[in-house]
Structure 1
Amino acid sequence: MDAVILCAGKGTRLLPLTENRPKPMLPVGGKPILEYIINKVENLVDNIYLVVKYKKDMIIDYFRDHPKITFVEQGAIDGTGYALLSARNYLGDEFLVINGDIIFEDDLSGILSYENAMGLVEVENPENFGVVLLDREGNVVEIEEKPKNPKSNLINGGVYKFQSDVLDILEDLEPSERGEVELTDAIKELIKERRIKGVKLKGYWNDIGRPWDLLDSNRHILKGIKREIKGDIGKNVVIEGNVIVEEGAVIKHNSVIEGPAVIKSGAVVGPLAYIRPYTVLMENTFVGNSSEIKNSIVMRGTKIPHLSYVGDSIIGENCNFGCNTITANLRFDDKPVKVNIKGKVVESVRKLGVIMGDNVKTGVQVSFMPGVKVGSNSWIGPNLLVDRDVEPNTFIYKIDEKRVKRL
């Protein structure tokens, strides 16, 4: 048995977080999404094939020493079907196929018991996914992508078990209107012959397609951690609940950490800092005097030195916050925060702060309105209220179209 994990895509709905990294390498609970999937399957299979393309070196460098992993580069044609087909020369008679951007709990025993099977999930918003219909015997009889009027609340969970003949089907497919070879088109051929079962996945499942999905999975992972304090702890530090402080981290005097939370190696917290639940501070971050972080992911090398608040946010690598940088995370009317995703304004969740790329610098007294996205390598001048998205490589020193410069 082999496993193929599809991790070649960019993840445009997660911009600016994916400007400098592939979506499967986004951190959840202190580790890349992809690492959780690999941990799930490594004892079930003999070989793991990672299909890579966008920012492939980041994936290869991180997992190169894993004894079961082989890297396969996707060719010029896009699509999940062509991604699987790229690994054809390596695969045996049967194999697992898993999307590289999901967090799930199921042990896969149900899927492995069939020749061809698709993992299914019950959701409240099936219109945003591929909706699946089953017959009485559990065979998949229909799959429809993002229908306006869903016939079911069962969706495609992005976990599959196939026999090798699915590769022959893929070989004969023509690219879709989007110019992609789609795995779902091959599944539709299996459906015609009642040759693929639908298996409900047990436990937590999340398709990380939007920034608030990342925060949701981060909370889920942190709920399962156990307390482990290995770092250097200063005087009068209060650590409550399940908190991981890795060796090499420093918690300075009079700081408070409320779990669940993860403080990675090289991070420095305090003095007088407040780390609230569901926060992850990645390696070499700094949260200083009187700064407060809540329900957020702060990536490597970012510095939030003093008098700042970051709530319900995702902050990229190597950012630097000027004194009193504030992220608003709740609307006055208490309605879901609106976010621009690929040019379309959508409702997200009740609380959402800023979504920030890498290498962003803010001046003193900068405030961000809920749901604002800030592209990588941007500078935000002092005393600004940022109430709109900021493109990458931009210097803003007044919120006025005439006062925006490209770096």
Structure 2
Amino acid sequence: MDAVILAAGKGERLRPLTENRPKPLLPIAGKPILEHIIEKIYDKVDNIYVVVKYKREKIIEHFNNYDKIVFLNQGDLEGTGEALLTAENYISDEFIVINGDIVFEDSLDEILNYDYAIAVKKVNNPENFGVFLVDEKNNIIDLEEKPKFPKSNLINAGIYKLKRDIFKYLKEIPISERGEKELTDAIKLLIKEKEVKAIELKGYWNDIGYPWSLLEANKYFLDKIETKIDGEIEENVVIKGKVIIEKGAKIRANSVIEGPAIIKSGAIVGPLAYIRPYTVLMENTFVGNSSEVKGSIIMRNTKIPHLSYVGDSIIGENCNFGCNTITANLRFDNKPVKVNIKGKRVESVRKLGVIMGDNVKTGVQVSFMPGVKVGSNCWIGANCLIDRDVEKNSFIYKKDSLIIKKLQ
């Protein structure tokens, strides 16, 4: 049996994190979303076909050494149905399809027992997903896409067990109103003619659709780690809880690490730094003297040298923070932080800091309000309070009138 992973999307709701990388490469607990998926299925299938398009060269570079993986380039037409059609000439019989932007705990053994099956999950907000109706035998009888008034709380979890005849249905469906060929439209035809089982996923599942989804999944997987310390630890370092410190990382004197946390190879912490729970420092990062990082993902080569605070934030690659850069992460009224997503204000979670792209530099005394997004390649001058989103390639600074008088 083979697997097809749909990893061609742009991940626009995750901007600016996806300005320079495809969504499947966003890190959760120190490794990409796509790597989590591949690890779950690697020993269950003969071949893994990864359909790529947006920033595909970065996915190919990262996974090029996996012997079971074949990369397929999606054409000009958009949509999950078109992505799956890309694999038609490679599939001989039954196969599994997985969306490339989900993480899950289930082994998938049950779903593999059927000719046709779709993973479902019970959620509290089904109106944001595709919703399934099932009969008393757990056969799927209807599918509604993001209904205003859901008839069920069983949503499409993005995992399908199918056979080759799905390609026939994919060729029959028209292009959707969004200008895409949708896999779910083909599923609607399939359930009219075939018995398709709804298999409820066991354990954790998350569709990484928003930046705070990434932080939520990061917390879940960090809770599963076990302590392993291979890096260099200097004197008077305090390590509490479950912590992974990889070989090549260095924790300098008088720093405190509270797990669960992961510190990747090449990272340097301290002296006198404080790493709080649910933090991941990716490769070659630096958190320096008297800086504090809490509940955040800090991507490769980013430097937070001294006297700064980063809380509940995601910071891209190759960023550099000036002294006393501060991220606020909580509203005075304790209500969910609102974030601009594709032109709309969306409620996120109670605590959310800054969402920052790559190659951002801040001057001294820069502060960010909760939920602000900063695009890639920005410079933010000294003493700025950033209380709104900043588009990529921007230089933000303010002019103060400096008055100097001679003393009499």
Q: Same fold (TM over 0.5)?
A: yes
Offset, 1:195 = 2.3
Instruction: Confirm or deny: 8 A CA contact 1:335 1:350 kept in the other structure.
Output: yes
Amino acid at match of 2:233: I
Q: Which residue of 1 aligns with 2:107?
A: 107
CA distance in 1, matches of 2:137, 2:232: 58
Which amino acid in structure 2 is aligned with residue 254 of structure 1? N
Other structure's SS at 2:17 match: coil
Determine the structure 2 residue equivalent to 1:23: 23
Deviation at 1:82, TM superposition (A): 0.6
Paired position in structure 2 for 1:231: 231
| Structural mapping, 1:326-345, within 5 Å | 326-345=326-345
Question: What is the CA distance between 1:399 and its match in structure 2?
Answer: 9.7
Residue type at the aligned position of 1:262: I
Secondary structure of the residue that 2:110 maps to in structure 1? helix
TM-score by length of 1: 0.97
CA distance in 1, matches of 2:121, 2:34: 20
Q: Which 5+ residue runs of structure 1 have no aligned equivalent? A: 401-407
Q: Residue by residue, what CA displacement relative to the aligned partner does 1:120-171 show, whole Å, maximum 9, x if unpaired? A: 0000111111111101111111111111111111100000000110011112
Alignment of 1:140-289 (within 5 A): 140-289=140-289
Q: What corresponds to 2:94 in structure 1? A: 94
In the TM superposition, 1:285-304 aligns within 5 A as 285-304=285-304
Separation of aligned partners in 2, 1:395 and 1:196: 54
8 Å CA contact retained: 1:386, 1:399: no
Structure 1 equivalent of residue 10 of structure 2: 10
CA distance in 1, matches of 2:321, 2:200: 45
SS at 1:109 equivalent: coil
Taking the aligned partners of 2:353 and 2:146, their CA distance within structure 1 comes to: 28
1:317 aligns with 2:317: yes
Change (3 A) 1:331 1:399: farther
Residue identity matched to 1:329: N
Alpha-carbon contact 1:140-1:194 (below 8 Å) kept: no
The whole-number CA distance in structure 1 between the counterparts of 2:178 and 2:292 is 45
Task: Indicate the RMSD between aligned Cα atoms, in angstroms.
Answer: 1.0
Q: CA deviation at 1:398?
A: 2.9
Query: Between the two proteins, what is the percent identity of the paired residues?
Result: 71
In the alignment, residue 60 of structure 2 is paired with which amino acid? I
Give the Å deviation of 1:368: 0.3
CA distance in 2, matches of 1:152, 1:169: 25
Q: 1:403: which partner in 2? A: none
AA at the equivalent of 2:107: D
What secondary structure does 1:170 align onto?
A: helix
Deviations 1:284-323 (A, max 9, x none): 0000000000000000000000000000000000000000
The answer to whether residue 362 in structure 2 is matched with residue 373 in structure 1 is: no
Q: Shift of the alpha carbon at 1:178?
A: 1.1
Cα separation, 2, equivalents of 1:193 and 1:90 = 24
Alpha-carbon separation, structure 1, partners of 2:297 and 2:187? 36
1:233-292: CA deviation from partner (whole Å, max 9, x where unpaired): 011000111100000001000000000000000000000000000000000000000000
Query: How far apart are 1:194 and its partner, in Å?
Result: 4.6
**Worse-matched range after superposition: 188-197 or 239-248:** 188-197
Cα–Cα, structure 1 residues 12 and 399, in superposed 2: closer, same or farther, change >3 Å? farther
> CA shift at 1:175, angstroms?
1.0
Shift of 1:16: 0.1
Shift of the 102–399 alpha-carbon distance from structure 1 to 2, 3 Å rule, reads farther
Partner of 1:404: none
Q: Distance in 1 between matches of 2:198 and 2:228?
A: 40
Q: Using the TM superposition, name which of 203-212 and 171-180 deviates more.
A: 171-180
- Report the residue type matching 1:379 in the other structure: W
Mapped partners of 2:36, 2:216: distance in 1:
15
Amino acid at match of 2:207: D
- The one-character-per-residue Cα deviations of 1:46-71 (angstroms, maximum 9, x if unpaired) are 00000000000111011111010000
Q: Residue 399 and residue 65 in structure 1: after superposition, are their counterparts in 2 closer, same or farther (change >3 A)?
A: farther
The residue type equivalent to 2:395 in the other structure is: F
In the alignment, structure 2 segments of 5+ residues that lack a partner are 401-408
Identify the residue that residue 347 of structure 2 maps to in structure 1: 347
**1:354 and 1:373 in contact (8 A); partners too:** yes
User: What residue in structure 2 maps to residue 405 of structure 1?
Assistant: none
Runs ≥4 residues deviating over 2 A: none
1:308 aligns to 2:308 (yes or no): yes
1:173, distance to aligned residue in structure 2 (A): 1.9
Amino acid corresponding to residue 159 of structure 2 in structure 1: V
- TM-score calculated relative to the size of structure 2: 0.97
